[in-house]
Chain A
Amino acid sequence: MTSKILETDSTGLGTPPGPVRPVARRRPPGAPTALGLGSAMIFLSLIVLIPLAAVLWKSAEHGPGFFWKSVTTPDAWAALKLTVVASIIVALINLVMGTLIAWVLVRDSFPGKAVLDTLIDLPFALPTIVAGLVLLELYGADSPLGINLAYTRVGVAVALLFVTLPFVVRTVQPVLLELDRDMEQAAASLGAGNWTIFRRIILPNLLPAMVSGTALAFTRSIAEFGSTVLISGNLPFKTQVAAVQIFGQIENDNTASAAAVSTALLVVAFVVLVTLDLVQRWGSRRG
Chain B
Amino acid sequence: MAIEARHINKAFGATSVLQDVSVEVPSGSLTALLGPSGGGKSTLLRVIAGLEQPDSGTVLIAGADVTRLAPQRRNVGFVFQHYAAFKHMTVFDNIAFGLQIRKRPKNEIHKRVHELLELVHLDQFAKRYPAQLSGGQRQRMALARALAVEPEVLLLDEPFGALDAQVRKELRAWLRRLHDDVHVTTVFVTHDQEEAIEVADTIVVLAGGRVEQSGSPHEVYDNPANEFVMRFLGPVTELDGRLVRPHDIELTAEPEPGSAEATVERVVRLGFEVRVEMRLGDQDAWAQVTRGLAERLRLAPGETVHVRPGPDARTLAVV
Residue of A nearest to B129 (CB): A287
Residues of chain A contacted by B140 (CB below 8 angstroms): none
Residues of chain A contacted by B76 (CB below 8 angstroms): 189
Contact B71 A204 (CB under 8 A): no
Contact A204 B101 (CB under 8 A): no
- Nearest Cβ on chain B to A236's Cβ, whole angstroms: 47
- Nearest Cβ on chain A to B145's Cβ, whole angstroms: 7
Contact B51 A188 (CB under 8 A): yes
Residue of B nearest to A190 (CB): B98
For residue A187, CB closer than 8 A to chain B, the reply is yes
- Nearest Cβ on chain A to B48's Cβ, whole angstroms: 11
Contact A186 B88 (CB under 8 A): no
For residue B74, CB closer than 8 A to chain A, the reply is yes
Which applies to chain A's interface (DSSP): helix, strand, loop or mixed? helix
Q: Which of B136-165 contact A (CB under 8 A)?
A: 142, 145-146, 148-149
Residues of chain A contacted by B90 (CB below 8 angstroms): 287
For residue A193, CB closer than 8 A to chain B, the reply is yes
A190-B97, A191-B101, A191-B149 are known contacts. Are A204 and B88 too (CB-CB below 8 A)?
yes
| Cross-chain contact of A187 among B73, B77, B93, B97 (Cβ < 8 A) | B97
Q: How many B residues, CB 8 Å from partner?
A: 32
Counting residue pairs across A and B whose Cβ atoms lie within 8 Å, the total is 67
Residues of chain B contacted by A190 (CB below 8 angstroms): 97-98, 101, 145-146, 148-149
Contact A182 B82 (CB under 8 A): yes
- Nearest Cβ on chain B to A183's Cβ, whole angstroms: 5
- Nearest Cβ on chain B to A34's Cβ, whole angstroms: 30
A196 to B72, CA, bound (A): 12
For residue B125, CB closer than 8 A to chain A, the reply is no
A205 to B97, CA, bound (A): 16
- Nearest Cβ on chain B to A224's Cβ, whole angstroms: 34
For residue B80, CB closer than 8 A to chain A, the reply is yes
Q: How large is the interface on A (under 10, 10 to 19, 20 to 34, 35 or more residues)?
A: 10 to 19
A180 to B84, CA, bound (A): 7
For residue A201, CB closer than 8 A to chain B, the reply is yes
Contact A189 B86 (CB under 8 A): no
Contact B88 A205 (CB under 8 A): yes
For residue B178, CB closer than 8 A to chain A, the reply is no
For residue B203, CB closer than 8 A to chain A, the reply is no
A189-B72, A189-B77, A287-B93 are known contacts. Are A201 and B86 too (CB-CB below 8 A)?
yes
Residue of B nearest to A180 (CB): B84
* Interface-centre pick from A185, A191, A205 (highest chain B CB count, 10 A): A191
Shortest Cβ-Cβ A-B pairs, 9 listed: A182-B84, A190-B98, A186-B84, A189-B78, A204-B88, A191-B101, A182-B80, A188-B71, A189-B71
Subset of 12 A-B contacts with CB under 8 Å: A182-B83, A183-B84, A183-B85, A185-B84, A186-B86, A187-B97, A189-B71, A191-B73, A192-B72, A192-B97, A201-B86, A287-B129
Contacts A180-B87, A189-B71, A205-B88 given; 19 further ones with Cβ under 8 A? A180-B82, A180-B84, A182-B82, A183-B87, A185-B51, A187-B97, A188-B51, A188-B70, A189-B72, A189-B76, A189-B78, A190-B98, A190-B101, A190-B148, A191-B102, A191-B149, A192-B101, A204-B88, A284-B88
